[in-house]
Amino acid sequence: MHMKTGVEQSVYAILLLTFLPEKAVLPGDVISSQLGGSPTYFQKLLRKLVSADLLASVPGSKGGFRLKKTPEEIRIYDVYVAIEGKQSLYSSSGIFHDMLNLKDKDICLLSDLMEEAESSWQSILKRQTIATLTNEINKKCPKENLDMLKTTVEEKMVL
């Protein structure tokens, strides 16, 4: 399994938005600049998060993005689905059936195993929220680094 960087970037974009006071927004170009990505690419990611009802978008010169749900309500799995979609990671090519000349499509040992593995990682992502990650950041990151990031967000936010 290889997850695209869009999920990672989206989670961190949402984490940036947790630093905003209520009603404030952060422009998309500020988010992309802070995370070191292309503004055009980030606009696509942010639009997907808006479509998934995780973020709110405010149009105009004083526009930007803010959380639509609380950090406790945003599961990492929700972010994954918003960016990657709900398709299964594994799809049988039928090799097993061809190899054993089977007519019954219900028999596929690898499909069962992959389904169980996918269910396990989804369960983990569904348990973890943006609030969980925020708590981890507060525990593991130096306070002065977090303070600098919060200051940057406060300077660039739009009320």
pLDDT digits (tens, 9 = 90+) for 14-58: 999 999 998 899 999 999 999 988 999 999 999 999 999 999 999
Query: The CATH number of the domain where 59 resides is what?
Result: 1.10.10.10
Tell me how many domains the chain contains: 1
Instruction: Please report whether residue 123 resides in a domain.
Output: no
Show the domain range for 71.
5-86+129-155
Instruction: Please report whether residue 144 resides in a domain.
Output: yes
Q: What is the 3-state secondary structure (H, E, C) of 29-97?
A: HHHHHHHCCCHHHHHHHHHHHHHCCCEEEECCCCCEEEECCCCCCCEHHHHHHHHHCCCCCCCCCCHHH
126: Cβ–Cβ under 8 A, 6 or more apart, which residues?
75, 76, 77
Instruction: Please report whether residue 64 resides in a domain.
Output: yes
CB 71 within 8 A of CB 87: no
Instruction: Please report whether residue 95 resides in a domain.
Output: no
pTM: 0.85
CA distance 70 to 140: 22
Instruction: Please report whether residue 19 resides in a domain.
Output: yes
Question: What integer is the mean pLDDT of 138-151?
Answer: 93
Q: What is the pLDDT of residue 72?
A: 97
pLDDT tens, position by position, 63-96: 999 999 999 999 999 999 999 988 776 666 666 6
Instruction: Please report whether residue 93 resides in a domain.
Output: no
The Cα-based distances of 152 to 7, 40, 81, 89 in angstroms read 23, 21, 29, 38
CB 122 within 8 A of CB 77: yes
By percentage, how much of the chain surpasses pLDDT 70?
85
